């Protein structure tokens, strides 16, 4: 029975490293968005990258660091398969774990890579190449799931080496090249917008309500001649602009992933708070400048609103309060 608590021991990592070296014929021949580089010893580089990723994967899987259960389950199943591979045990059982990992989370590109390694180590180059191609396609977008155990630079290097393997073995990539050149998986993005995950559903509905409702309110204000130089209309306009900027962060995170470990759940509140904070600071600065500006002769400042009012007036001409 398959369990998720296999531990990768130092000998296991050595075995996984040697296993990765075993199948890695390589020639520096790249095209498309995979840039041309000259790596000193690609077999060793590949083995080191895969082994290091498996180490991190095994350590992180125990912590269940992701918010959603199915993502953590996929992570644990992938770690379990890596442990089976490292210990040199049944590759069939390892592939079964990887199949379950992909079933839990179809965008788990690293599972396809490990599955390709198992087939290649058994001499089944046809199946190995099929899963190498699948890995290249699925790893076009560097996701938060990948960040748990890989850096962007490591993923990029692995993709280059895998592409080199396929080129060396004269594997045709005519159809796949078009997909590999796509930077954004529009199909996945559109399907996400149509059926968002549970944690994003509220944010999605909120954005739609704010953007659609805000547009209607702004049009109404324009038709009714609202003065946008006043504080409240100005605040509503700033809020609407902040919603659009935040929505942009949300889409960019879905399409590319935000840098420096950020995600839309951190970026959106910070963006809204920053824009509103700057707006209120600007208003306070303008009010302070206006309040301390000298008034003309025969005028005085209203103690309620700070407006310049004739000295002989009994009430403020702006706020209509008694002086």
CB 16 within 8 A of CB 86: yes
* Same domain, yes or no: 274 and 253: yes
Question: For residue 1, is it within any domain?
Answer: no
Q: In sequence order, what are the residues at sequence separation of 6 or more whose Cβ sits closer than 8 angstroms to the Cβ of residue 233?
A: 221, 226, 227
**174: containing domain:** 10-183
Per residue in 192-243, pLDDT tens?
555 556 656 677 777 778 888 888 888 888 788 777 677 777 788 888 888 8
The DSSP secondary structure of 229-291, one letter per residue, reads TSHHHHHHHHHHHHHHHHHHHHHHHHHT--STT--HHHHHHHHHHHHHHHHHHHHHHHHHHHH
C-alpha span between 136 and 169 (Å, rounded) = 16
91-149, pLDDT tens digit by residue? 888 899 999 999 999 889 999 999 999 888 888 888 888 899 889 888 877 788 888 89
Kindly tell me the burial class for residue 255, based on how many C-beta atoms sit within 10 Å of its own C-beta (0-12, 13-18, 19 or more).
middle
**Widest Cα–Cα separation across the chain:** 100
pLDDT tens by residue, 3-25:
444 444 444 544 444 445 444 44
**Helix, strand or coil, per DSSP, at residue 185:** coil
The pLDDT tens digits for 24-45 are: 443 333 333 444 444 456 677 7
Q: Are residues 137 and 124 in the same domain?
A: yes
Beta bridge pairs of residue 315? 322
Do 18 and 116 fall into the same domain?
Answer: yes
Q: Which whole number is the average pLDDT over 291-316? A: 76
CATH of the domain at 115: 1.25.40
pLDDT tens, residue by residue, 50-64: 888 888 888 888 888
Do 112 and 208 share a domain, yes or no?
no
Give the integer Cα–Cα distance in Å for 121 and 82: 14
Q: What are the Cα distances from residue 148, in Å, to 76, 233, 278?
A: 12, 44, 34
Q: Identify whether 3 is part of a domain.
A: no
Within a domain: residue 188?
no
Same domain (yes/no): 159, 250: no
**Together in a domain, 218 and 173:** no
155 in the same domain as 14? yes
At residue 111, the pLDDT reads: 92
Q: Same domain, yes or no, for 91 and 160?
A: yes
Half-sphere exposure of 170 (CA within 13 A, CB side): 0
Mean pLDDT over the full length of the chain: 75
Tally of structural domains, the chain: 3
- Amino acid 252: pLDDT: 74
Q: Are residues 148 and 259 in the same domain?
A: no
Domain-embedded: residue 311: yes
Higher pLDDT: 158 or 67? It is 158
Residue 171 lies in a domain: yes
pLDDT at 112: 93
Q: Whole-prediction pTM value?
A: 0.48
């Amino acid at each position: 029975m398959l369990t998720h608590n296999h531990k990768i021991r130092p000998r296991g990592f050595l075995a996984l490293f040697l296993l990765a070296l075993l199948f890695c014929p390589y020639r520096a021949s790249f095209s498309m968005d995979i840039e041309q580089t000259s790596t000193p010893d690609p077999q060793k580089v590949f083995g080191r990258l895969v082994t290091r990723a498996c180490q991190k994967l095994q350590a992180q899987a125990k912590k269940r660091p992701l918010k959603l259960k199915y993502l953590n389950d996929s992570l644990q199943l992938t770690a379990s398969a890596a442990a089976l591979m490292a210990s040199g045990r049944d590759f069939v059982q390892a592939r079964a774990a990887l199949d379950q990992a992909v079933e839990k989370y179809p965008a788990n590109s690293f599972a396809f890579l490990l599955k390709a390694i198992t087939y290649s180590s058994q001499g089944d180059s046809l199946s190995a190449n099929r899963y190498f191609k699948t890995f290249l396609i699925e790893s076009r977008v560097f996701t938060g799931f990948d960040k748990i155990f890989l850096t962007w630079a490591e993923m990029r290097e692995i993709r280059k080496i895998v592409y080199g393997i396929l080129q060396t073995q004269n594997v045709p990539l005519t159809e796949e090249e078009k997909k590999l050149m796509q930077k954004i998986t529009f199909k996945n993005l559109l399907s996400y917008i149509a059926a968002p995950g549970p944690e994003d559903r509220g944010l999605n509905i909120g954005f739609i309500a704010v953007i659609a409702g805000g547009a209607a309110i702004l049009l109404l204000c324009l038709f009714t001649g609202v003065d946008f130089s006043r504080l409240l209309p100005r605040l509503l306009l700033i809020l609407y602009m902040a919603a659009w900027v935040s929505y942009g962060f949300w889409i960019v995170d879905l399409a590319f992933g935000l840098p420096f470990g950020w995600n839309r759940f951190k970026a959106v509140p910070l963006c809204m708070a920053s824009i509103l904070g700057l707006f209120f600071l600007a208003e306070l600065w303008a009010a302070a400048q206006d309040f301390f500006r000298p008034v003309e002769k025969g005028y005085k400042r209203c103690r309620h609103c700070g407006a310049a009012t004739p000295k002989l007036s009994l009430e403020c001409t702006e706020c209509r309060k008694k002086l």
